[in-house]
Amino acid sequence: MSLGLYVSVPFCRTKCSYCNFASDVFSRAVFERYVERVAADITQAGEIAEQMGGLFENSVDSIFLGGGTPTILDIAQLARLFVTISQTFVVESDAEITVECAPGTLTPAMIEAFQRCGVNRVSLGVQSFVDKEAAAVGRQHKRAAVLEDVAHLRASGIENINIDLIAGLPHQTPQSWQFSVAEAVALGAPHVSVYMLEVDDDSRLGRELMAGGSKYHAHFVPNDELTADFYETACQRLNAAGVCQYEISNFARPGMESRHNLKYWTRQPYLGFGVDAHSMLRGSGKREPVRFSTPDSLEEYVAGAPLKRIPVSKTAALEETFFLGLRLAAGVDLKNVAADFGQSEVHRFTETISEFVDLGLLECEGDVIRLTGRGRLLSNEVFERFILCGADTPVRRL
């Protein structure tokens, strides 16, 4: 089975106020040391897989450089990562190769480098087409830069473009949100990701909200109900435009779904490199899959801190099958789950499924269960109950 590769580039020009990822603004002096370490890990991928008890497969059908902002690297550094991958793995001819980009960072030289490296998909962190909203959370680009980037990418032959949008940004209104969604549709983007703003308590915006202050435009953040309305509006507008929802936060024209992200949701093997990168490999022999991750601190990672190994039990694998599969519009086929884990294991979830159907959060079609529209809004509640189901925890009424 072909692997997916994820490479974390945790460097940003600015830190968004809502962000609590393992990315930040660092001196360019550390970039070369970081690329050196990542390249060394890629080269040693086979040994790492063996040490972790996973099955190493060197055929790759998806590569994803995420961040942070990978395009903040020098072109030579970016190219080195791709060269090292091609020297270590067999990259399939039709592999999906994605780079996340901050609008305004795509110089002509960078786009030329993409072409040389085989990049065929770009994900633009737009978040909002309204300049005031983007600036309020620390984004440095303007709407005009997004339009220019899309035009330049298409001129270079890169048509597979994702637009990231966030519902619930400070200053966002129903009218401004509809404008952002309409702009994504008008651009003809084949893929759109829509996230509802989740303000982490450890982010700058989260701390300000908890304190009841006004820094970072905290007093202009829409409430949860309005943010949910924004999300539902996006679902309606995008589906009507033929950019159909295939996952809770992701929409695509037919055949343009993110092959890399589908690996996560369908529990296919992938390897992650860099700060706070996660991996899941099939277990060698007949063992269950194994997960492992790198440190979430740049200093610890560059210093060579050890990986954290997380064995996946049969129970955990079953729970993952449900809560990851339910993210997808296709849902979970109980017949397939029974074939993989046994009918008795599926029966453990029968009462939970029935209660969620009664609550209007799940729907059944033959052997397939999937989230309803309301279920997608309350998906975390649903997933939590599936994880706790094995402990005979009753479903809490929502």
Higher model confidence: residue 284 or residue 89? 89
- Find the angle CA(266)-CA(87)-CA(85) to the nearest 5 degrees: 40
Based on the structure, what is the number of domains in the chain?
Answer: 2
* Tokens (6 digits) for 305: 């801190």
Note whether 55 and 119 are same-domain residues.
yes
d(C-alpha 57, C-alpha 205), whole Å: 42
Q: Are residues 91 and 188 in the same domain?
A: yes
Angstrom distance (rounded) from CA 363 to CA 326 = 11
pLDDT in the model for residue 90: 98
Q: Are residues 157 and 224 in the same domain?
A: yes
> How far is the C-alpha of 313 from the C-alpha of 327, rounded, in Å?
21
| Residue closest to 266 by CA, chosen among 317, 334, 324 | 324
- Is 160's pLDDT higher than 90? yes
- Banded pLDDT at 29 (limits 50, 70, 90): confident
Please report the pLDDT score of residue 352 as a whole number. 92
Give the sign of the dihedral formed by CA 113, CA 119, CA 121, CA 122: negative
As a whole-number percent, the residues of the chain with pLDDT over 90 amount to: 75
Q: Are residues 207 and 336 in the same domain?
A: no
* Single-letter amino acid, residue 217: H
Question: Are 132 and 192 members of one domain?
Answer: yes
Sign, CA dihedral 260-264-270-274, equals positive
With a pLDDT cut of 70, the percent of the chain lying above it is 88
Q: Could you tell me if 51 and 281 are in contact, meaning their C-beta atoms sit under 8 angstroms apart?
A: no
Are 73 and 148 within one domain? yes
Q: Is pLDDT at 21 greater than 80 in this prediction? A: no
Question: In this model, does residue 393 exceed pLDDT 50?
Answer: no
Confidence of residue 395 (pLDDT cuts 50, 70, 90): very low
In single-letter form, the type of residue at position 171 comes to H
pLDDT at 210 over 70: no
Residue 20 pLDDT greater than 90, yes or no: no
Q: Which of residues 231, 263, 295 is at a domain's end?
A: 263
Whether 171 and 234 share a structural domain: yes
Which CATH number do you get for residue 158?
A: 3.80.30.20
Nearest to 62 by CA among 104, 40, 88, 94: 94
Do residues 34 and 302 make contact, with C-beta atoms less than 8 angstroms apart? Answer: yes
Answer yes or no: is pLDDT of 216 > 60: no
0.75 surpassed by pTM: yes
Q: Which whole number is the average pLDDT over 205-216?
A: 61
Q: Which helix (H) or strand (E) holds 352?
A: helix 350-358
- What SS3 class is residue 282? coil
Q: Stretch 11-15: mean pLDDT, rounded?
A: 75
| Domain boundary residue, one of 263, 286, 305 | 263
Are residues 93 and 222 part of one domain? yes
- Residue 44's nearest CA partner among 83, 85, 82 is 85
How far apart are the C-alpha atoms of 390 and 317, rounded to whole Å? 12
Is 256 a domain residue? Answer: yes
- Structure tokens that stand for 159 in this block: 């048509």
Of 227, 248, 263, the residue at which a domain comes to its end is 263
Neighbours of 222 (CB within 10 A): 20
- Is residue 85 one of the residues assigned to a domain? yes
Same domain, 259 and 318: no
Cis peptide before 68 (omega within 30 of 0): yes
What pLDDT shows up at residue 398? 34
According to the model, what pLDDT value does residue 394 have?
A: 34
More confident residue, 221 or 270: 270
**3-state secondary structure at position 94:** strand
3-state secondary structure of 232: helix
137 shares its domain with 235: yes
Q: Give CA torsion, residues 274, 279, 281, 284, to 10 deg.
A: 70
Average pLDDT over residues 106-121: 96
188 located within any domain: yes
Q: Which of the given ranges, 148-162, 205-219, 313-327, has the highest pLDDT on average?
A: 148-162
The reply to whether 296 falls in a domain is no
**Token code pair at residue 263:** 């690996």
Domain assignment of residue 298, yes or no: no
The mean pLDDT of the chain is 90
168 and 84, same structural domain?
Answer: yes
Stretch (H or E) spanning 37: helix 31-43
Q: How far apart are CA 124 and CA 99, in angstroms?
A: 9
Find the CATH number of the domain harbouring 336.
1.10.10.920
d(CA 308, CA 310): 7
| pLDDT of 212 above 70 | no
Question: How far is residue 69's CA from residue 66's CA, in Å, rounded to a whole number?
Answer: 7
Mean predicted confidence (pLDDT) in 71-91: 96
In a domain, 294, yes or no: no
Q: Backbone dihedral region of 304: left (phi > 0), alpha (psi from -120 to 50 degrees) or beta? A: left
- Whether 320 is covered by a domain: the verdict is yes
Residue 50 within any structural domain of the chain: yes
Instruction: Give me the domain span that covers residue 388.
Output: 313-398
* CB 258, CB 246: distance < 8 Å: no
Residues 105 and 169 in one domain: yes
Residue 265 near residue 325, CB atoms below 8 Å? yes
